[in-house]
Structures are given as C-alpha cells and as structure tokens.
Amino acid sequence: GVHLFRSGVETGHYAASRRLRTPHERPVAGYVGVIDERLDLELIGRLAAELADWTIRVVGPVAKIDPADLPQAPNLEYPGLVSYDELPAVMAGFDVALMPFALNEATRSISPTKTLEYLAAGLPVVSTRVPDVVGDYDDVVHLADDGEGFAAACRTVVGDDCDTRDRRVRPLQARQEWDHIAERMAALMETARQAASGAASTQETA
C-alpha cells in the first residue's frame, strides 16, 4: 500500500524565534522560502502599497523567474538566501508570516512546510487559498485572496492572542513532528517486514 506523510516540522528549532524577538520600529510582514513562479508577485506588490506603514520582507533566493520582475517599493525588502540555522532569528523579526502563493498549476498540489514552521515560531499566518492549507489549517491560518485582503488580515491578526493560537496548533504539530513521522514510518516498515516473513514461512510449509 501507499502511505502519505505530509510535511514535517522541527518545532523546537523554530520555537527559538520566540525568545529572539525584540521590539522594532515598524510592523513587519514576512515570507521565507524560494521566490519563484509559485508566488503571486502582483499580490506582494499590492500588499506593500496597502501596508505603506509596514515593512514587507521577502526572504530567500530567486529561482525560475527574472529578478527584474520582482515588485519594488520603499517598504519592500529582499534580503536574499539565509541558512536553516538563521531562520529562527529571521522569523523573530516578523510580526505576521505570509504565504502569498499564486493559485496555479505549480501550487495545486503543494503542502507548504512553512505553515507549521511559522506557527512554531509563534507567528500569525496569512495565506492564499492553497488547497492543502485550506484543508489542513483553515482554523489556524487566516485566508485571503488578494493584496487588499492580505493587508486587512495582517492588520487584524497582528493583535491575535498567541496562547490561543498555540492551543489550536499543538495537535497539528504533534502529528507532524519529524520524529513522530519517522516513528510511524518505522512502524509501517516493521509491519510490512513481519507480513513478508509470515508469507514466506507459509510458502515454505505449504
């Protein structure tokens, strides 16, 4: 049989973001990940215009698209690639986490790992209606459709209670911890091994 394991998260790694958080002058809405054809660049540009009093920070390498196509604005930043070890500190500089994915063939089947990473970092999340996000996280992620919707959501969720969000997220995190996923995989392989051994024994005695 085929067993589906969705994206996992190393909760402890991203939770370090919480203690690294320090006050900053302007609210920051941020994205971490590859900047490619899966992102809605028009939405990002519109969000920067709508949240002129915020900083929009899009962190990651540019791939498969022309850097010249990236929207530009005084409050829009592209710091570039950061390492896995640096991610908690990067997310500590965010007030709201963004998943501004375009709804196209490239995103129809994605299950963004960053959903649980952002939530582990203690951040409210605003996302477009990627099917897996709607299906798995609609009670902990704020869904919006365009730049105006993202801006309104950012202004709303920045004041959300983190403890309430953590309580909702905890069961999801427990299920999607990499260690838990590895244990489930190992158990399935052991069951399959035992079944194969049993079948072989039955054939030998037949």
User: Which residue ranges make up each domain of the chain?
Assistant: 11-180
Residue with the larger pLDDT of the pair 156 and 178: 156
- The residues near 15 (Cβ < 8 Å, ≥ 6 apart) are 88, 120, 121, 122
Q: To which H or E segment does residue 45 belong?
A: helix 41-50
Give me the architecture of the 11-180 domain, per CATH: 3-Layer(aba) Sandwich (3.40)
Q: Express each pLDDT in 92-102 by its tens digit.
A: 999 999 999 99
Does residue 164 carry a pLDDT above 70? yes
Give the pTM: 0.81
Angle between helices 41-50 and 147-157 (to 10 degrees): 50
Q: Express each pLDDT in 123-152 by its tens digit.
A: 999 999 998 888 888 889 999 999 999 999
Token pair in block for residue 186? 């190992």
- List the single range of 19-33, 84-98, 188-202 with lowest mean pLDDT: 188-202
Cβ neighbours, 10 Å, residue 23:
4
The full length of the chain comes to 206
Token pair in block for residue 79? 């710091």
Q: Are strands 28-32 and 55-59 parallel, antiparallel or unpaired?
A: parallel
Of all residues in the chain, the percent with pLDDT exceeding 70 is: 80
